[in-house]
Structure 1
Amino acid sequence: MMRTRSTFMTLAAALLLTFSLSACSGGGSNGAETNNGVAGNNAAPAETSEGANQTEPAKTEGGEEDVTLRLMWWGSQTRHDLTNEVVKLYESNNPHVKIETEFTSFDGYWEKLAAMVAGNNMPDVLQMNFGEYLTQYASKDVLLDMKPLTENGTIDVGKANEGIMASGVANGKLLGIPLGMNALTVIYDEKMLQDAGVASPDLNWTWDDWKKAAEAVHAKSGNYGTQGLEITNIFEYYVRQHGQTMYSADGKGLGFDDKLLTDYLAMTLEQQEKKTYPSMDVIMQHEAIEDQLIVHGKAPFDFRWSNQVVALTKAANRMLKLAPLPGPDSSKGMYLKPSLFFSISKQSKHQEEAAKFINYFINDAEANKIMKGERGVPITSDIREALAADLDETNKMIFDYIDMIGANSSPIDSVYPAGASEISKAMEEINEQVMYKQLKPEEAAAEFRKRAEEIIARGAE
């Protein structure tokens, strides 16, 4: 998902919550309590040497032990609503399982998860992101290797896309089960472009076409010509389309020339100066997906992941269209990406039940009909076929777009140093300084390289 700016208050709240939960847990656990008083990590009663004086776990009529799982994710309100529907359906089909859900914004999620890891209070099942975050949590050794659970069929991935499945591997372990496939896309309002006399984008459009379209819309209506571009993902595409990579093949340095970052920052700064591109203050006022500029008809272009189109279209209450990011050489830059993962905590006391829920989430037709591709195009061919006949116009467009990108893209880059998430935050900060005119683009490129190399060096110690 696209990143938003973290705030001190969010971090403080997350830390306060962690300490409060610790204080309320009776000293035996750092986790929140469930409805029946068992700590959130569902710790089993301590065994005696004779196995006596233990409380027998509650069981359903079918003889299955009652289980409480904690599930945590980030996302839009649409994702929250749909996921909760799937959870209720799963609970009705599995009466011995109760699932406690937790969800938040993207930045708030990582702050909350960091506090949970520090407090030994991770959820059983948690949403995970490809790249720097999977690498970061793999290095912490807090995620379960799910390869044995796929080999014994608890999580059935027999008809999953093999390339997408490989993206969940880090340090030789299967730490994430992909929940869908997606790709970067430009979502556009065709009517706004038509009203400004601008042609719709296609496979052959370029960054120059994007700039001209944005300027034409602004001149015609006074609206912005585009949403602000989220620096880390869009710049990575920009690097790839120029035949370079974010990180070197060995992960020990950056893989691109400073000129690329200088040119990219100069391009977006120029558009801001022409009033076609929103200021950082405006961007921060429209952070929620339900409040994006395109939703309110204030910009014709929006750059983001294709799995977010469902929520964006719902918020806009009108049909929007999709195009690949601008070229030239967009096929070098574009790639299919695992939209999101589910991972299991190594400390979970119910790893098999957690795996069964993940299997249900990716393989059950009714669950996927509820989700409607909100977390990306399903990874298994059976589910894609099951959904195809009942797709609405938006989801059919997304499925077709993923097929098109699959035929016009290059393999995803999978090398990320352990400090990649910190490097991404450094890039966001550098970008803000340029947009606030505190640094010139060439100064920012040099400063970013310095900071990135320091972070990588620390991670290698």
Structure 2
Amino acid sequence: MKTQRKWLKWLPVTLISVPLVLSGCGSNSGGSAATASTAPAASSAGNADAAAKLKVMWWGSQARHDATLKDLELYTSKNPNVTFAPEYTAWDGYWEKLPTLAASNTLPDVLQMDAAYIQGYAKRGLLADLSDIDLSGVVDSQVLENIKIGGKVYGVPLSYNGQGIVYNKEALEAAGVKLPANDWSWDDFFAYAKEAHEKLPEGQYGIDDMTNIWEFYQYYQTSQGKGPIFKDGTTFNLDKDTWMKFQQIYADFRKDGIVPAADQQLSFKENDPQLDSMASGKVMLRTASVGSASVIESLLPGKLGVNNIPIGEAGGGWAQSTIFLSVSEGSANKEQAKAFIKWFVSDKESGKTLGLTRGIPINEEVFKELEPTLASGDLFAKELLEAAKPKALPFYPAPAGAEDFVKTYKSEMEAVMFGQATLEEAYQTLLDKGKDAEAKLNK
């Protein structure tokens, strides 16, 4: 159940110095970096038909780069007045360069954005309002509502992401354990963990110990209607009673051997054929993102089922886009950029060219065009998405400036796992760190 840790790699530091999410859950994979002309876009009249050379910038893998370049060529073949100056790199290089461009007022016309960063860029007035792009029939209305910032759309979502549960259906059925059912509650989840402990062979566990993963606790808190740990991206909101209740359950699970011992838990490595908690046969259920589901499916083909994150009165988990195309506020070609973005997400030929290089397309019609050609792992990821969507809450990444809190949460809760700190001590440390982060965020 360590998929959430991928988002730790994506957590922003600041918009001035940004070494780091999810997405992306987009892609933080490497790939040969390449750049084209970085000259400012030519100025043009404020209409979509005027000639323009759009500077476009994105991060991703080589497969994404190649597909996007072909897509830009396709657009120009259909719209000869619009050409492109593309710039692309891997995840780290992208977020190292973008703040520099922002500081010098030379952001590209069209730029790829991630959920962990878009709020900060929008609040600083760096992104244009895209609310006037008509996305009806292209993007689900609830998806658009979830990604609004201050009631406005600053990035058109490109693909779905989300978090769900994957479980070893074959092994659980063999042991006679009741299988998870969609829309299960947290009480159901904890009851499953206890039953799995009673019925599974020695050395196997129903769930991981995710005490040290702040996102997983946040799923619990938000499902109870208490809001995210950083409400509105600024206010520290770790609800003590809710946190203590959740952590005490896991403390009891450690004492009773219902979850792996701390040293074993921390030795697991997600999606490694030998060291993944599930692929190794040690744990029967863990979380997975839509973006990574195909990997675990390939390690245990035909053996897995999917389910949503446990829910509470407010819902649970998340399922939405975490990767966007935005337009810089300083662009001289806003209307042409908006027209391009709408085509990018709605045109079926564009969708075929891009494939799944940015995940499951946000446009269901585009996905249907691709579906007959998809591998079993890709279809499994779509199945996970569909399980996660009905009761999903918005995605709540840690805001820029909260990196010390995130690091402290992990280290402090690992101390709890090893019996080196009490829950009261850990809570006080987290409270202090959270308040420090809040002070920085409100400057």
TM-score, scaled relative to structure 2: 0.71
1:276 paired with 2:262, answer no
Pick the aligned partner of 2:4 from 2, 6, 12. Answer: 2
Q: What amino acid maps onto 2:4 in structure 1?
A: M
Say which structure, 1 or 2, has more relative contact order (CA 8 Å, 6+ apart).
2
- Residue in structure 1 matched with residue 285 of structure 2 by the alignment: 301
Q: Is the CA contact (8 Å cut-off) linking 2:40 and 2:106 kept in structure 1? A: no
Provide closer, same or farther for how the CA distance between residues 261 and 157 of structure 1 changes in structure 2, counting only shifts above 3 A.
same
Q: Which residue matches 2:25?
A: none
Q: How many residues align?
A: 406
Residue in 1 that maps onto 2:424: 442
Give 2:118's aligned residue: 134
In the alignment, the residues of structure 2 paired with residue 33 and residue 374 of structure 1 have an alpha-carbon distance, to the nearest angstrom, of 17
State the partner residue of 1:161.
140
1:231/1:119 CA distance change after superposition, 3 Å: farther
Query: In 2, distance between residues paired with 1:401 and 1:188?
Result: 11
**What secondary structure is seen at the aligned counterpart in 2 of 1:147?**
coil
In the other structure, the counterpart of 1:313 is 297
How much is the aligned-residue C-alpha RMSD, in angstroms? Answer: 4.6
- For residue 129 of structure 2, the aligned residue among 145, 160, 166 is 145
Q: Answer whether contact 1:365 1:386 (CA < 8 A) is retained.
A: yes
In the alignment, structure 1 residue 246 sits paired with structure 2 residue 246: no
Q: Tell me which amino acid in the other structure corresponds to 2:89.
A: E
Choose which of 80, 83, 99 in structure 1 pairs with 2:86: 99
What amino acid sits opposite 1:194 in the alignment? E
Q: Is the 8 A contact 2:206 2:284 kept in 1?
A: yes
> Where does the alignment leave 5 or more consecutive residues of structure 2 unmatched?
20-32, 44-49, 78-82
Give the aligned partner of residue 260 of structure 1. Answer: 242
Q: What residue number does 1:43 align with? A: 40
Deviation at 1:348, TM superposition (A): 6.0
**In structure 2, distance between residues paired with 1:380 and 1:405:** 17
SS of equivalent residue, structure 1 residue 444: helix
* TM-score, scaled relative to structure 1: 0.68
Question: CA shift at 1:115, angstroms?
Answer: 6.3
The aligned amino acid for 2:160 is M
Which aligned pairs between 1:443-458 and structure 2 lie closer than 5 A?
A: 443-458=425-440
1:179 maps to 2:158: yes
Q: Which amino acid aligns with 1:86?
A: A
Q: 1:343 is matched with which residue?
A: 326
> Is contact 2:306–2:387 with CA below 8 Å preserved after alignment?
no
Question: Deviation digits for residues 174-215 of structure 1, max 9, x if unmatched?
Answer: 222112334421111222323444232113462323422553
Alpha-carbon offset, residue 322 of structure 1: 0.7
Corresponding residue SS for 1:302: strand
- Aligned-residue identity in percent: 21
**SS of corresponding position for 1:332:** coil
- Give matches, 1:2-81, under 5 Å: 2-4=4-6, 34=35, 38=37, 40=38, 42-43=39-40, 69-73=56-60, 80=61
**SS in structure 1 opposite 2:127?**
coil
Residues 284-313 of structure 1, C-alpha deviations (whole Å, 9 max, x = no match): 762567874334444322213334323443
Aligned to 1:52: none
- The code of the aligned residue for 2:324 comes to F
Q: How far apart in 1 are the matches of 2:217 and 2:397?
A: 16
Q: Which runs of 5+ in 1 are unaligned?
A: 18-31, 47-62, 74-79
- Residues 210 and 326 of structure 1 are in contact (CA less than 8 Å); yes or no, is this contact kept in structure 2? no
Distance 1:355 1:410 in 2: 29
